Amino acid sequence: MIVGTAGHVDHGKTALVKALTGVDTDRLAEEKRRGITIELGYAYTGELGFVDVPGHERFVHTMLAGASGIDTGLLVVDLTEGIRAQTREHVQILSLLGVQAGVVALTKSDIGADRIDEVSDALRTLLAPTPLAAVEMVPVSAFTGHGIDTLRHALLATARPLAPPSGYPRLSVDRAFTLTGAGLVVTGTLVAGRIAVEDRLLLSPSGLELRVRGLHAQNQPAREAVAGQRVALNITGQRLSKDAIQRGDWVLHPALHAPISAFDVRRTLLEEATSLRQDSTVRLHLGAAHSTARLSLLDRDRLAPGESALTRLTLPQTIGGLAGDRFVIRDTNATRTIGGGIVLDPAPPRRGRRTPQRLAQLAPLVAADPTEALRGLLDAPPHWTDAAAFMRARNVAAADQEALIAAVPARLAGGLLLAPATFERIRETILSTLARSHRESPELPGVQLERLRLTVPDRLPVAGFAGIVQALLQQRLIAQDGPWLRLPQHRVTLSPQDQRIWEGARPLLEAERFRPPRAREMAPLLSQPEAAVRATLKRLQRIGQVVEVAPDHFFLRGTVAEMAAIASDLAATEGVITAAAFRDRLDNGRKVAIQILEFFDRSGVTVRSGDTRRVRPERLLLFGDPPR
Ligand SMILES: Nc1nc2c(ncn2[C@@H]2O[C@H](COP(=O)(O)OP(=O)(O)OP(=O)(O)O)[C@@H](O)[C@H]2O)c(=O)[nH]1
Ligand SMILES: [Mg+2]
């Protein structure tokens, strides 16, 4: 359990952590000289881990880095001073970061006991509108030890059972240093998943690869750390050095690495802030990182104090962030906290950000539960979304995706998640489009994939549509001939003219099947113009009856399959295929045999090197099974 201190400068945070843990976290010479905390301090006792933050107004950005990832806020208020500026600001920050548990320590009870009622009343009023409204308040003195045990128990009482770690690991880095003997160490809060020694992870947003050589969880050597713990990782990586790592980076599973520079959020403006216009620039704090950011309101033109709105944040750089991450915004001079919110979509579309359809898709993403969020998202048009992007944004590990999809319920096809009703509607559209095409153009073998996609009003992405077609093929609801998709029962009907020519030509092609006559040679035998015979054969090729092996030289498709099998047999018995051996097997003359082999080269059935060829087994059935 991680406790983060909060409160105004000099109110006794560091002294209190020392009284609770015995550790003085103010180690820097400058901290000693000035008597204030500048850097984050860490101390542990039993189950409690403390992050001690600075209270000085100049170091609110450091407080923010420390407060992201804590479970419990320890709000420290000096009884002799009462509520001061950073008391208020830190309370706002804890509340914006979604910290749900806390305890108030009323410090310096040795000199301020007479003000306990007055200060606690004022604090109740301050905390009333926040998640910390009902927290316990404990008068303490770090000097006399009064109340310290009560405080410790109050902190332990806020502990909630650790959720079993789910998702891929994600650690928010707040420090990096080199340790003699060990090498490079990063510390931070593990916000999801688990990390074990020898894991291979990435530093994000830089993308540098790293390996975990050793780790500490809650300050103890361990084989594995789980979400909710403070972790120190001893890491190594080829291009990794201390200078390559900064506070605000993430150490994460490669599946989660997708740096963001524009993302859509739900954002609240504090009551105390002045209203913000379109395109204001602010300071963004997310995880332990901060950056300037431009805000553009999506569902209104102006945001009044106390209101929330859907907003696009655009950054001049990339950072790490996923859906559900909390953030805080301050003014660009870093003097005031003005609001904060929650990331809804870390990979939003560039175009159409303010369309009603887009806003309807964003709204349900406020849900913390991925099942609920996905259900809401698929309820909104166009009723489908990119599966990989959703699973990454929500950090749903591969092993958990099937259960999530079943719970929504959704359909997964071609990398898309679809509402079941939408999947069915698309299926029906495909089936009815094919039926209509077969009715209106019975001479066509079917409809090609891309034409079919454009007839479906949903305008699905190419890969997604191909995936849906694959699913229908697997269910045998449709069938495929080369590039043509058709209903399984569809048979091409030839025009009477084509039918006449085909009836005459087929026996000619069968008679000398390895050396059939060319179209121009067949024309006089069929008493048809040469062009008509050729046109019919071209149409027959499209419906898979014949194959034009060389210009004007058509073979029955089954014969081509048979010749491919012969080539394969030759390769198996002789080791390679030579033109002479192939000609001997087909007994069709050198010139035609070579034309056939060259055709096989072009269609990838054979690969030529010098005077010999070998077959590519995976291409052998390109022309179907050879007839028995
Ligand atoms: N009388 C009295 N003085 C205290 C007590 N706790 C802290 N102090 C004094 O208050 C001053 C500030 O204490 P710190 O613990 O450094 O305060 P802080 O909140 O950590 O300050 P920053 O980290 O700079 O925000 C020091 O001079 C302490 O000696 C206490 O219980 N009683
Ligand atoms: Mg301090």
10 lines ligand 1 (CB under 6 A): yes
How far is ligand 2, taken at its centre, from the CA of residue 36, in Å? 6
Tokens of 464: 């997604």
User: Which among 5, 10, 28 is the best mutation to test ligand 1's pocket, defined by most ligand atoms within 8 Å of the CB?
Assistant: 10
Atom 4, ligand 1: residue with shortest CA distance: 108
Residue recorded with tokens 């850097």? 39
Please name which ligand lies nearest the alpha carbon of 36. Answer: 1
**Residue 509 and residue 143: Cα distance in Å, rounded?**
106
- pLDDT digits 0-9 by tens, 225-283: 999 999 999 999 998 999 999 999 999 999 999 999 999 999 999 988 888 788 889 99
Cα-only R_g, the chain: 36
Nearest CA to ligand 1 atom 28: 12
Nearest-CA residue for atom 8 of ligand 1? 12
Nearest CA to ligand 1 atom 13: 12
Average pLDDT over residues 564-569: 94
What is the rounded distance in angstroms from the CA atom of residue 320 to the CA atom of residue 44?
Answer: 28
Per-residue burial over 401-438, b if 16 or more Cβ lie within 10 Å, else e, is beebbeebebbebbebbbbeebbebbbeebeebbeebb
What is the mean pLDDT of the segment spanning 114-138?
A: 97
User: Is 185 within 8 Å of 42 (Cβ atoms)?
Assistant: no
Element (H, E) at 15: helix 13-21
Contact 105, 140 (CB under 8 A): yes
The mean per-residue pLDDT over the stretch 289-302 comes to 93
Higher model confidence: residue 544 or residue 177?
177
Average confidence (pLDDT) over 291-312? 93
190 lines ligand 1 (CB under 6 A): no
DSSP lists the bridge partners of residue 77 as: 106
Mutation pick for ligand 1 pocket among 9, 14, 80 (CB with most ligand atoms within 8 Å): 14
What gap in Å lies between CA 89 and CA 104, rounded to an integer?
A: 15
38: left (phi over 0), alpha (psi -120 to 50) or beta: alpha
Residue located nearest, by CA, to atom 7 of ligand 1: 12
CA 248 – ligand 1 centroid, Å: 28
User: pLDDT digit string (tens) for 530-555?
Assistant: 999 999 999 899 877 899 999 999 99
Rounded to the nearest angstrom, the distance between the alpha carbon of 146 and the centre of ligand 2 is 19
**What is the mean pLDDT of the segment spanning 44-73?**
95
pLDDT at 262: 95
Torsion of CA 340, 345, 346, 351, to 10 degrees: -110
The DSSP output letter for 321 is -
Report which secondary-structure segment, H or E, holds 627.
none
Residue identifier of the C-alpha nearest atom 10 of ligand 1: 12
pLDDT value at residue 22: 96
Give CA–CA dist 57/290, Å, rounded: 16
User: Which amino acid, residue 205?
Assistant: P
The residue type found at 60 is V
What are the backbone dihedrals phi and psi of residue 185, each rounded to the nearest 5 degrees, phi first? -130, 135
- Nearest ligand to the CA of 78 is 1
Cβ atoms of residues 78 and 12 within 8 Å: yes
Measured from the CB, is residue 535 less than 6 Å from ligand 1?
A: no
Write down the pTM of the prediction: 0.80
Structure confidence at residue 628 (pLDDT): 67
- For the ranges 138-152, 315-329, 473-487, the lowest mean pLDDT is seen at 473-487
Distances (CA, A) of 181 to 27, 178, 184, 209, 235: 22, 9, 10, 21, 13
**Dihedral pair phi/psi, residue 593, rounded to 5°:** -60, -40
Instruction: Give the whole-angstrom CA distance, residue 47 versus residue 220.
Output: 11
Summary mean pLDDT of the chain:
94
CB 429 within 8 A of CB 200: no
141 lines ligand 1 (CB under 6 A): yes
| Token pair listed for 180 | 């003699």
Stated as kind and residue range, the H or E segment containing 484 is strand 484-486
Are residues 252 and 199 in contact, defined by beta-carbon separation less than 8 angstroms?
no
CA 10 to centroid of ligand 1, rounded, Å: 5
Give yes or no for a cis peptide into 617 (omega within 30° of 0).
no
d(CA 89, CA 22): 28
DSSP 90-135: HHHHHHHTT--EEEEEEE-HHHHGGGHHHHHHHHHHHHTTSTTTT-
Nearest residue (by CA) to ligand 1, atom 9, is 12
Task: Give the distance (Å) from ligand 2 centre to CA of residue 59.
Answer: 11
Q: Tell whether ligand 1 has an atom less than 6 A from the beta carbon of residue 13.
A: yes
Q: Is it the case that residue 78 has pLDDT exceeding 80? A: yes
Q: How many CA atoms lie within 13 A of 314 on its CB side?
A: 12
* Beta strands at 208-217 and 200-204: parallel, antiparallel or unpaired: antiparallel
Any atom of ligand 1 within 6 Å of the Cβ of 37: yes
Confidence of residue 182 (pLDDT cuts 50, 70, 90): confident
Integer Cα distance of 189 and 232 in angstroms: 9
Identify whether the C-beta of residue 165 lies closer than 8 Å to the C-beta of residue 216.
no
* Distance between Cα 40 and ligand 2 center (Å): 9
Report the candidate in 10, 171, 164, 152 with the shortest Cα–Cα distance to residue 77: 10
Q: Which of 13, 23, 115 to mutate to test the pocket of ligand 1 (most atoms within 8 A of CB)?
A: 13
Nearest-CA residue for ligand 1 atom 30 is: 108
Q: How far is the CA of 16 from the centre of ligand 1 (A)?
A: 8
Q: CA–CA separation, 152 vs 157, rounded Å? A: 9
For ligand 1, atom 6: residue with the closest CA: 12
Q: How many Å from the N-terminal Cα to the C-terminal Cα in the chain?
A: 73
Structure tokens given for 247: 């506070």
Sort strands 280-286 and 224-226 into parallel, antiparallel or unpaired.
unpaired
Candidates 272, 288, 274, 276; CA nearest to 313 is 276
Ligand 1 centroid – CA 141 distance (Å): 10
- pLDDT of 492 above 90: no
For residue 613, the surrounding DSSP H or E stretch is: strand 612-615
Residue 508 has pLDDT above 90, yes or no: yes
Partners of 209 in beta bridges:
202
Q: How many residues does the chain have?
A: 628
In short, whether 25's Cβ falls inside 6 Å of ligand 1 is no
Query: Could you tell me where the DSSP H helices lie in 408-553?
Result: 420-440, 449-455, 462-474, 496-511, 519-526, 530-542
- In degrees, to the nearest 5, what angle opens at C-alpha 469 toward C-alphas 464 and 472? 130
